[in-house]
Amino acid sequence: MALTVDAAAASQRAQANVRELYLRHAPELRQAIHRLAGGVLDADDLLQDVFVIAVRRADALSAAQSPTAWLYGVASKVVSGRLRTSRWRRWLGLEAAAEAVSGDSPQLSLEQREARRSVELGLSKLSGTRREVLVLFELQGLSGAEVAQALNIPVKTVWTRLFYARRDFAIALKEAGHD
Amino acid sequence: MTDEEKAAAALKTVATIPARPVHAGDWEDVLHRAARPDRSWPALALVAVAMLIAVAAGLGWQRYQAPTLSPSREAKVAVKDDGAVALSWGRLEVKSRTPARLVTPHVVSVTAVGRVAAEVDSHSTFVEVFEGSASVRTDSETIELHAGESRRWPNAPALPASLRVSEAVMPGACDERPKSEQAGCWLKESRGDGLSAQVALYRRGALAESLRRFPAGVLHPEIRLGLLRQWIERNQLEAALREAIDFEQACPDDPRLDVVRALRRTLESRGVH
């Protein structure tokens, strides 16, 4: 009986922990999801998917070195999985392509809007793995170690991918004629 | 400013864009969804694949088990509602690992396992077993045939002894000749128009010609019985029945009339008409 009460209490604690993470990180995670998905998926829906996983795997989240990196890692996997199935669903005619709502605040300066348009175009030219590193490190502000944890890759690989991602991104912007 | 610097500046600017806040109430949606049992897509996909494999295997097995039918060009074959194969004319070879049922106008059913052929003409069904066995059921009997065996239905009745005519009762002039000359001798004799010609035609086996040329000749009962015997031996029972009826009408006083009549009734009782 005591064990049951303890387990229930632990579960409630874990859920409260996830809720706290949700309130603190959900806006940035949704923004990251929108950027990772290239604006073609419903970021609100995917954000819910991420936190559904977090609630169900609250123990793993609590044990993570960086809960933030853990959540970004889940978001990255959810996005890549959904992009994969979405391609098939569109090919089969089961899903129509739709412009998703951005995760950014609507209060933007002209400079920010133009920069965002350039970045979205540059990101669309990158491979999935390079885009992930660039988004998490450059835009979401994760450290190299956190990106490595999120993507489950060595830190050195993060730097290598980041190097090529920056180069490809600059080339893409140049080719598109964005100054 | 280099391209790299411009790109870095764009990234830096975008990184400063604040995120749109989420509604606190959305957390309740997360909890609600988390409480629902998860749809396991991989499991569903596995079940779907397993079902497809099962269906494909079932169809394959059905095809493997299904009999192979090889009808002749003129064969008339139809598959009945109960799955039995109806053969009304021609030859059909059936190859089957499971019992395959065949029906013809002359037998109730042929249940074949292995390689079995059936041939149907206007008056009979011939069944031949190459491999395996066949169980042939008629109105009166069930016969098992095994590899190498064959049989015809309806089977011809045994010819009564009194209808068998030996050549000794029909001697002719050519009997005295050497064997090598007898054929030529009978041919020459048969060109005449007397009794010797009738005997010669009989000995040559030209029974139909004899009956055409001498329909009321001295030997016409023997000729008719010879034809009757021939049809029976060839299992052409409809022709035998017609011949028996002709004999009854043409030879009402013949002492063998009762035997012929009994033979005709036997044929009719076997479904010959």
pLDDT averaged over every residue in chain A: 86
Q: Give A173's contacts in chain B (Cβ within 8 Å).
A: 3, 6-7, 10
Q: Is A13 on the interface with B (CB under 8 A)?
A: no
Tokens 């509602």, residue located:
B81
Q: Is A70 on the interface with B (CB under 8 A)?
A: no
Q: Apex CA B181: angle with CA B177 and CA B182, to 5°?
A: 65
Which pLDDT value is given to residue B203? 86
> A38: alpha, beta or left, given left = phi > 0 and alpha = psi -120 to 50?
left
Which pLDDT value is given to residue B166? 57
Q: Tell me the pLDDT tens digit for each residue of A41-59.
A: 888 889 999 999 999 998 8
pLDDT (mean) for B62-80? 84
Q: Give B18's contacts in chain A (Cβ within 8 Å).
A: 104-105, 107
Q: Which residue has the higher pLDDT, A77 or B83?
A: A77
Sequence letter at residue A55 = V
The residue of chain A nearest to residue B23, with distances taken between CA atoms, is A23
Q: Give B15's contacts in chain A (Cβ within 8 Å).
A: 138-141
Residue A5 has pLDDT above 70, yes or no: no
Which residues fall within 8 angstroms of residue B125, CB to CB, at 6 or more apart?
B87, B104, B105, B106, B107, B110, B118, B119, B152, B153
Q: What is the ipTM of this complex?
A: 0.85
Which pLDDT value is given to residue A4? 63
Residue contact B13–A111, C-beta within 8 A? yes
Beta bridge partners of B85: B79, B102
Which residues fall within 8 angstroms of residue B211, CB to CB, at 6 or more apart?
B220, B223, B224, B227
pLDDT averaged over every residue in chain B: 86
Indicate the range of A19-33, A133-147, A165-179, B32-46 predicted with least confidence.
B32-46
If contacts are CB pairs under 8 Å, which of residues 16-55 in chain A contact chain B?
A: 19, 22-23, 26-28, 30-31, 44, 47-48, 51-52, 55
Indicate the range of A13-27, A86-100, B128-142 predicted with least confidence.
A86-100
Selected residue of A29, A55, A68 to mutate for chain B interface (largest B Cβ count, 10 A):
A55
Which pLDDT value is given to residue B140? 74
Most confident region among A9-23, A138-152, B189-203, B209-223 by mean pLDDT: A138-152
Percent of chain B residues past pLDDT 70, beyond the cut = 96
pLDDT (mean) for A66-83? 93
Euclidean distance between CA atoms A39 and A101, whole angstroms = 8
Minimal CA–CA distance to B244: which of B261, B258, B256, B266?
Answer: B261
What residue ranges define each of the domains in chain A, with the CATH number in brackets?
A: 1-101 (1.10.1740.10), 108-179 (1.10.10.10)
Most confident region among A34-38, A68-72, B78-82, B117-121 by mean pLDDT: A68-72
Chains A & B: contacts with CB separation below 8 Å: 98
Residue contact A55–B34, C-beta within 8 A? yes
Selected residue of B22, B38, B44 to mutate for chain A interface (largest A Cβ count, 10 A):
B22
pLDDT (mean) for B254-271? 87
Report cis status (omega within 30 of 0) of the bond before B154. Answer: yes
Q: How many CB atoms lie within 10 A of CB A26?
A: 25
Strand, coil or helix: B198: helix
Residue contact B4–A19, C-beta within 8 A? no
Which pLDDT value is given to residue A73? 95
**Judging by DSSP bridges, how do beta strands B125-137 and B142-146 pair with one another?**
antiparallel
Q: Tell me the pLDDT tens digit for each residue of B171-186.
A: 788 888 888 888 899 8
For residue B210, what is the enclosing H or E element? helix B207-213
Which pLDDT value is given to residue A178? 61
Which pLDDT value is given to residue A11? 75
Euclidean distance between CA atoms B114 and A7, whole angstroms = 68
Q: How confident is the model at residue A151 (pLDDT cuts 50, 70, 90)?
A: very high
HSE-up of residue A144 (Cα within 13 Å, Cβ side) = 10
Euclidean distance between CA atoms B92 and B32, whole angstroms = 68
Q: Give B10's contacts in chain A (Cβ within 8 Å).
A: 115, 118-119, 122, 173, 178
Q: Is B25 on the interface with A (CB under 8 A)?
A: no
Q: Which residue has the higher pLDDT, A154 or A106?
A: A154
Q: Which residue has the higher pLDDT, A103 or A94?
A: A103
pLDDT (mean) for A117-125? 91
Euclidean distance between CA atoms A104 and B75, whole angstroms = 79
Q: Tell me the pLDDT tens digit for each residue of A126-137.
A: 999 999 999 999
